Structure 1
Amino acid sequence: MTEQGDTHVKRKMPKGVRKGGTRFPRQTLGDSLAWAKKLVAKTHLGPQPEGVVLSGVVGNSNSVGRVRLSTLKQFGLMEGDSKGYIASDLAKRIEAAPTEERSALYRAAVLAPPVFKALFDTFHGDEVTHAKLKQRAAELKVHPEETGKCADVYVTSMVTAGLATLDGDKIAHLSAIDMGTPPPSPLITEQGDTDEPKVADDDGEGPEDETQPEAPNPKRAIFNVNVTLDSSLDTEKLERQLRLLKKFGAI
């Protein structure tokens, strides 16, 4: 008989249960779009309780089904809670849009999860390996045992959204410029204590207020001169004083 403490039993996490760390979608965008299509139809008249959505939309009523619900919410395709879920405005727009207009909506969905947005911001315009994506996922605090899963779902979803192409182990990302958006940049703040961005030195414009007075020219000195003329002066001296005052702009 084995004494207590001699036997080491390795606990196995149930399938679909998170292990901690930064959250990311466990299912691909492609799968989520298929569920979102059902969700739009199922919730057309209003929110539906969790049981209905689990069985009628994602097709699983256990923990795996709840992981799928979480994925739909992370991609911005579903709103609500267990009392009532409903398709988001993004999901409805995707369903109603012509095929040629869906690409931009897919991109909005795939960049909704913060960890996917951070990965794309890091590598947009670059060709990287799967290992590099895993390394970056680890830096973003994804659980060490989940970085591979995160990279897999990220790549598949990015390809679906047209933001990346896959060639063997190489993942080529579309650049932010090709997307028609500027590359991400850090927000510049005043002394780190405000979220208001600094005004560029060469902007040349103040706040949007057309009544704002024009700033004085810093190169021009402004002064006031009080002039008292002595009526007893002869005409020649008076004219010299007047010319001198006029020369300096006093009159």
Structure 2
Amino acid sequence: MNKLCPDLVAAVADIPDGATVMIGGFGGSGAPVELLHALIDRFRATGHPARLTIVNNNAGNGGIGIAAMIRAGMVAKVICSFPRSSNAEAFNEKYLAGEIELELVPQGTLAERIRAAGAGIPAFYTPTSYGTELAEGKPAEEFDGRMYVRERWLKADFALIKGQQGDTVGNLTYRMAARNFNPLMAMAADRTIAQVSRLGEPGCIDPQQVITPGIFVDTIVEVPEPQQEEVLVRMGVVY
């Protein structure tokens, strides 16, 4: 039951080429920066993993995290809601050069597609996107006089998430708004890798305070002083 991993390098060692990887966070809030940079280090050393499909709220900012993965050439496709954030130069350059694919998903639909996968619901209907380019090729049906678009669940091979406190069996809590997509993604992936600021033994978290139960977490690694994406971007850090 002990899911503790000794370091970041070992935590991401099994992610293969072509994997679909969900990455927690809303902008920098709840983003697992250290796990992403460990994955970049592995790619620079070995050339793997490559051709990744990334699922996130946006397509990265500045020169760190997801943006650094894209600039390194690790990412073949991005599934997100906001590809054109304020510092999305890495994605913009690759996309305009035809080197990366984009699947644009409205934010509420993105969250619900991920939630549906975790709940075992293969499809659902939403009025969002009906009559737009985003609905082209998707089944639509009328309910109570309104048209709805059918959307499929969104699964992943791996989820990389960030918690505030965890225990060795994988139970997690989150810090304020850093909760965002992280719990949903933990449930929608075949394997979930979590970094946490504080790690303890089972029982260190009040059961009523657990947000993500350990059954949804496969690997946990402690990062006592995690970096914050926005701070690194303002400093001009390029990983």
TM-score using structure 2 length: 0.26
Q: Which has the larger radius of gyration?
A: 1
Please identify which structure carries the higher strand content: 2
Between the two structures, name the one with larger relative contact order (CA 8 Å, sep ≥ 6). 2
TM-score using structure 1 length: 0.25
